[in-house]
A and B are shown apart, each in its own frame.
Chain A
């Protein structure tokens, strides 16, 4: 039995003579080389840079290859608040995006099913923000949330904000901005997962005496988990490293995220080793978190 099934997969997966085997492997070469030269190598350079030491008596921005491990405790000691804040803001934005995005994806995939025009229109509305500049949209938020704007006026009138309260330049503004920026990345994978959902499964759930909420919790949500995992990752990862929202919508002290620090160290202070240390820490932390999360969610097949 085992032998047979193994033979079966060998037969089914056996590539055709023209495109298969070695031929197919050759197709990988250019892309793998590209990623090797422009991803693996740069990350290696980044690792090396993170250990560089300043040239003794040299000018600003002059460094020499070294194994200066104290770069790590020094950089982390100085910038751990920004690092922690980045993960906290990105986590908050991801949760908000999931809560806001799930009903959107559900309506597009399940409620609009069968009505192709409506479905197409709603998908276009989700991707529409992609077509106007990301920076311009963030600046639009800055102006919408500005102190004299309608949103702040309304919040003051409702006594959600004190009479002199403000939204702009707060943590809340940065989290709203992050949520907004990456919401389509949450909605699209959720939509893709929910679209595959067989409506007969929901009927089966209802048939087996499940209340709508129970059907959702026991059938819909578990089946959309691949979309939830993909969506949260596609939201969380760029949000952690983003500095456009925090620099446009935040203030210069209590909302600074790690991306801003890296940018400033790199370009204004020419402090390449510190920028590299923070980048490496950021990358490693994300990889550890993502691996743990994916393991826990049980969806290994992401690519």
Chain B
């Protein structure tokens, strides 16, 4: 890419490929509501970063503060090491793909894409805009108006309009939210390809955990204006540190218990859960005291006969009764009532040969204790689960 002809030093930096983003102690208050609460976050240059959380968690506000569309009540935002907290949106080397796309209805597709280039008085505007449209495979629709495009096409124009400026940072605010499921899957892969191709740092805001895990190198899980946990998707899934993360990323069975002994030279904790002794690797416990929440992912649990003998390598929870059976094709999902511990979810891979247990079947639950984890016992076990009243 040729250098951009402008006197603005902030914009000049935009021509360098992907800059690192640092957010430090940032808060944003709307009246008496604290949307973002003392947030600190670092995004490495050139990565695909996802900010994941339920609606209203403050992720969009965070994004808007990075874009310069919102001013933090406190804290600093740094781009490539430079403090940009007070820099207005139009002078930041950051571009955004808006949730509603925000395409200019009075301009054709080409002029929409060229808008940023023209503001910065770039040379070869037309050629560069067309090049960006080719990247999203829409060059043939350059003279259409946005209203004449489908949702997926509009989404790609919005992407081209942002990418064409070669920003240091590309912000995506729920960009796939308005698309249907199949198109969303395709666009996820497409976005990933484009990110790899242009090498710009992407910060992607989404409430869809699957989307975040599919696309991002690093995911930050946000809740109530705070970051719950940051890490690679697999790391977050396998080592959740809070009940919210455990429930929001996939599903978890969380049951309260008390650490009663330390086994195996300190490497394993023995936990009493309603009279049953369970084991948790000490490395997989984040609890500070003896009260813990023991967690096991549903796909890690195996259903066995009520009185079936299981080797000591596995932990067993007995006295369960199947209360619901849903066949989903790739797996069968069970809800098993285990008395005082409530209901436990179990996913059985449909590998063939395994019988389907109808509701009412008495069963026992078995799992490899290496996959169990322990969270702080003070946490609410249902945090981050879907609440029917909660979703808009």
Contact = CB atoms under 8 A, between A and B. Distances in A.
B390 interface: yes
B56 A4 contact: yes
B390 A11 contact: no
Contacts of A103: none
B70 A17 contact: yes
B89 A7 contact: no
A11 B60 contact: yes
A118 to B, nearest CB: 24
Nearest to A3: B33
A17 B31 contact: no
Nearest to A6: B33
A114 interface: no
Nearest to B33: A7
A276 to B, nearest CB: 46
A185 B77 CA distance: 54
Interface in B60-101: 60-61, 68-71, 88-90
Contact of A11 (B35, B68, B88): B35
User: What does DSSP make chain A's interface, helix, strand, loop or mixed?
Assistant: helix
A85 to B, nearest CB: 52
A30 to B, nearest CB: 25
Interface residues of A, number: 12
B88 A7 contact: no
Contacts of B68: 17
Given A17-B70, A17-B89, A10 B31 contact: yes
A18 interface: yes
B391 to A, nearest CB: 11
A14 B392 CA distance: 20
A10 B32 CA distance: 11
A225 B31 CA distance: 36
Interface residues of B, number: 18
Contact of B56 (A7, A16, A17): A7
- The listed residue with most B CB atoms (<10 A of its CB), out of A1, A3, A11, is A11
B174 to A, nearest CB: 12
A7 B69 contact: no
B71 A17 contact: yes
Contact of B69 (A1, A6, A10, A16): A16
A18 to B, nearest CB: 7
Contact of A14 (B30, B88, B90): B30
A8 B56 CA distance: 7
Contact of A18 (B30, B90, B392): B90
User: What does DSSP make chain B's interface, helix, strand, loop or mixed?
Assistant: loop
Contacts of B60: 11
B389 interface: yes
Interface in B369-392: 389-390, 392
Contacts of A14: 30, 70
B69 A17 contact: yes
A13 to B, nearest CB: 10
Contacts of A8: 55-56, 392
Contacts of B71: 17
A7 B390 contact: no
B88 A10 contact: no
A4 B56 CA distance: 6
Contact of B35 (A7, A17, A18): A7
Contact of A1 (B30, B33, B89, B389): B389
A265 B114 CA distance: 65
Contacts of B33: 3, 6-7, 10
A10 B56 contact: no
Contacts of B392: 8
A37 to B, nearest CB: 34
Contacts of B31: 6, 10
Nearest to B54: A4
Contacts of A10: 30-31, 33, 35
Contacts of B55: 4, 8
- The listed residue with most A CB atoms (<10 A of its CB), out of B30, B60, B389, is B30
Contacts of A4: 55-56
Contacts of A18: 88-90
Contacts of B61: 11
Interface string A251-266: 0000000000000000
A48 to B, nearest CB: 42
Interface in B19-70: 30-31, 33, 35, 55-56, 60-61, 68-70
B341 to A, nearest CB: 29
A1 B390 CA distance: 7
A3 B35 CA distance: 10
A14 B71 CA distance: 11
A14 B30 CA distance: 9
A242 to B, nearest CB: 41
A77 B30 CA distance: 57
Interface in B161-195: none
Contact of A7 (B30, B70, B90, B389): B30
A16 to B, nearest CB: 6
A14 B56 CA distance: 14
A14 B64 CA distance: 11
A57 B192 CA distance: 93
A55 to B, nearest CB: 57
Nearest to B30: A10
A57 to B, nearest CB: 64
A282 B61 CA distance: 51
Interface string A1-45: 101101110110010111000000000000000000000000000
A11 B90 contact: no
Nearest to A10: B30
B382 to A, nearest CB: 16
Nearest to A9: B30
A203 B55 CA distance: 36
Interface in B203-230: none
A14 B63 CA distance: 14
What 8 A-B pairs have minimum CB-CB distances, sorted nearest first?
A10-B30, A4-B56, A7-B33, A7-B56, A7-B35, A16-B69, A17-B88, A17-B89
5 contacts: A8-B56, A14-B30, A16-B69, A16-B89, A18-B88
Given A7-B30, A8-B55, 14 more contacts: A1-B389, A3-B56, A4-B55, A6-B33, A7-B56, A8-B392, A10-B33, A10-B35, A11-B30, A14-B70, A16-B69, A17-B69, A17-B71, A17-B89
